[in-house]
Amino acid sequence: MRDDTLHYTTQFKETGFVFAPFNSDEKAVLFPLEKSEFIHENISIEENVSLNGNTSDEVISDKEKHLHLVEKALDEINKNELVKVVLSRKEEVQLDKFDVLLTFKKLLNSYANAFVYVWFHPKVGLWFGATPETLLNIEGNSFKTMSLAGTQVYVDSEEVVWKNKELEEQQLVTDFIESQLKPISTNLKVDKKETIRAGNLLHLRSKIEGELNNGSNLKALIRGLHPTPAVCGLPREKAEEFICQNENYKRTFYSGFLGELNLKNKNSYLFVNLRCMSVENKVASIYVGGGITKESSAKKEWEETIAKTKTIKKVL
């Protein structure tokens, strides 16, 4: 970007790089291509960068608050008000030293299979992430998306057994995506569940693809998908309301989406903003969440968020 003016997109018709918040009523920030410089560079990721820096002891933990939040959601689920809700928290880490480029390089080095980014706008802030989740790839009328949910810690193999809780949690996401896409697409294909690795974690994923109907457009696709129950819940509106009223902080761009919008041949590549952090005044805020269903245990959900912070902590 050549200046610090904030631009937004509401129709997703512009060309550029989009950075959208979780809350779909709030505006998505756009770096318009015509006001930006597009620099293509092959970064060497073989550079020897040491990992594991200056965190751990100074973590301000909010375990009690998170346990309470999950219990409250379980009450709503038991009353049949919600089927699933993704609950998250923000963990703040004081940094002794911090180098933007080095942090970005460490992320690139550590997560070859993730969409790794650093994003900065002087009026919004500095964000980093290494996300395993594609929201949407669209080339012409053909699109690809995925249903990603269910987590276990990677030990030494990707050949693992999944419990019912995770299988159902991910199936809810697949079914939601399918029902949202059916009215606006054709040739919808949903692949079998597979296990994928994202750093120290494993997830369940089903790839989904199809073709956009003639009368439909990118905005309908984005609005249909975001937020999926991988980051929000079911029913969508009730889960979103629960999140906004009960989480102990404001998500802003965590679990929103970001990426190239209508670039080269009008193709878009959008990712869900997970395993991310914002950094301000040498404090890193790491954002982590997990899906709560009737079979969840508050303690395990807490532990899952701890495991998820490791993606980012590894590079601090």
Q: Tell me which of 89, 105, 203, 226 binds ligand ISC, using CB under 6 A.
A: 203
Q: Is the Cβ of residue 133 or residue 247 nearer to ligand ISC in the bound state? A: 133
Q: Is the Cβ of residue 20 or residue 231 nearer to ligand ISC in the bound state? A: 231
Q: How many residues bind to ligand ISC according to rule CB under 6 A?
A: 17
Q: Tell me which of 226, 289, 302, 314 binds ligand ISC, using CB under 6 A.
A: 289
Q: Is the Cβ of residue 29 or residue 130 nearer to ligand ISC in the bound state? A: 130
Site residues (CB under 6 A) for ligand ISC, limited to 66-105: 86, 88
Instruction: Fill in the DSSP letter of residue 22.
Output: S
CB of 23 to ligand ISC, least distance (A): 15
The closest of 274, 266, 145, 263 to 211, measured between CA atoms, is 145
Is residue 290 a contact point for ligand ISC (CB under 6 A)? yes
Q: Is the Cβ of residue 106 or residue 203 nearer to ligand ISC in the bound state? A: 203
Q: Tell me which of 105, 308, 313, 314 binds ligand ISC, using CB under 6 A.
A: 308
String marking each residue 20-59 x if it binds ligand ISC according to CB under 6 A: ----------------------------------------
Q: Is the Cβ of residue 133 or residue 240 nearer to ligand ISC in the bound state? A: 133
Task: Provide the pairing of β-strand 194-198 with 201-212.
Answer: antiparallel
CB of 77 to ligand ISC, least distance (A): 14
User: For residue 44, how far is the Cα from the chain centroid?
Assistant: 26
Phi/psi at 194 (5° precision): -140, 160
Q: Tell me which of 129, 150, 199, 233 binds ligand ISC, using CB under 6 A.
A: 150
HEC readout, 248-278:
CCCCCCCCCEEEEEEECCCEEEEEECCCEEE
| Straight-line distance from the first to the last Cα atom of the chain, in angstroms, rounded to the nearest whole number | 27
Whether the CB-CB separation of 185 and 210 falls below 8 Å is answered with yes
Is residue 274 a contact point for ligand ISC (CB under 6 A)? yes
Whether the CB-CB separation of 258 and 117 falls below 8 Å is answered with yes
Q: Tell me which of 84, 259, 291, 313 binds ligand ISC, using CB under 6 A.
A: 291
Task: Pull the structure tokens for residue 187.
Answer: 């040739």
HEC readout, 204-239:
EEEEEEEEECCCCCHHHHHHHHCCCCCCCEECHHHH
Residue 178: how many CB atoms within 10 A of its CB? 16
Q: Contact positions toward ligand ISC, by CB under 6 A?
A: 86, 88, 133, 148-151, 203, 230-231, 274-275, 288-291, 308
